[in-house]
Amino acid sequence: MRWLRCGLALLWWLPASVLAEGVMRTPLPGPDRFELQAALPVPLAELLPILERPCHVRQWMPGIETLTVLERPSATQTLVYMARKAPWPLSGRDAVTLFERHPGEPLVLTMSGKPDAWPDQPGHVRVPYTEGSWTLQAQGDITRVVYRQQVDPGGGIPQWLADRLAPGQMEAALAALEAYVRDPQRTGCPAD
């Protein structure tokens, strides 16, 4: 019964477009893999810092409570702690993720969960598994984006429910990113 209450709370919390048509789903054992493609009206050189710098991500990513760079293991890697809010009766979720930039054409930013790389934080359930990527292809003043993710949110949320809600979360994130890059009032950020 608890998972039903949690599921209903999640349905209330997420955007109305939960059944996103543009999101492709690949069924897998464990979390399914989801993919969403878009063309953003911004050159790759401008989009990259918007995806990589916490001061930008805090402004466009829905539901962010905390986003902190923990470590930079190399010039192409960043270990990040991110906490997200959740409605009652759910606990907020947090994740420790290693982001890695793979230069080339296309440029790829991979995301790999590292749940044991940082101590558990009070009031949050640690996401036990997350993998994903942003594949970015420059096309002049437009960047073609392929956003992929696989997530096990942990904390008693059934995987079937998390997989059902993932498309809406991805669409909400990409819509927020597009609104942010289109915003003429958007300002730069200091180095994080």
Sorting pLDDT into bands at 50, 70 and 90, what band is 17?
A: very low
Sorting pLDDT into bands at 50, 70 and 90, what band is 20?
A: very low
Give CA–CA dist 168/165, Å, rounded: 6
Lookup result for tokens 């919390």: 13
Decide if pLDDT at 21 tops 70: no
Is residue 56 within 8 Å of residue 191, measured between CB atoms? no
- At 87 the pLDDT is 73
Is residue 108 within 8 Å of residue 169, measured between CB atoms? no
- At 159 the pLDDT is 93
Give the distance between the most distant pair of CA atoms in the chain. Answer: 52
pTM of the model: 0.83
Three-class DSSP category at 117: coil
Sorting pLDDT into bands at 50, 70 and 90, what band is 9?
A: very low
Sorting pLDDT into bands at 50, 70 and 90, what band is 29?
A: very high
Give CA–CA dist 101/49, Å, rounded: 12
Q: Which two tokens stand for residue 7?
A: 């599921």
Give CA–CA dist 192/184, Å, rounded: 22
> Span 43-69, mean pLDDT?
93
Domains and CATH numbers, the chain: 2-182 (3.30.530.20)
Sorting pLDDT into bands at 50, 70 and 90, what band is 192?
A: low
Mean pLDDT across the chain: 86
H/E/C letters for each residue in 56-90? HHHHHCCCEEEEEEEEEEECCEEEEEEEECCCCCC
- Between 4 and 69, residue with greater pLDDT: 69
Give CA–CA dist 3/161, Å, rounded: 9
Decide if pLDDT at 141 tops 60: yes
Give CA–CA dist 174/23, Å, rounded: 11
Decide if pLDDT at 130 tops 70: yes
**What proportion of the chain, given as a percentage, has pLDDT over 90?**
72
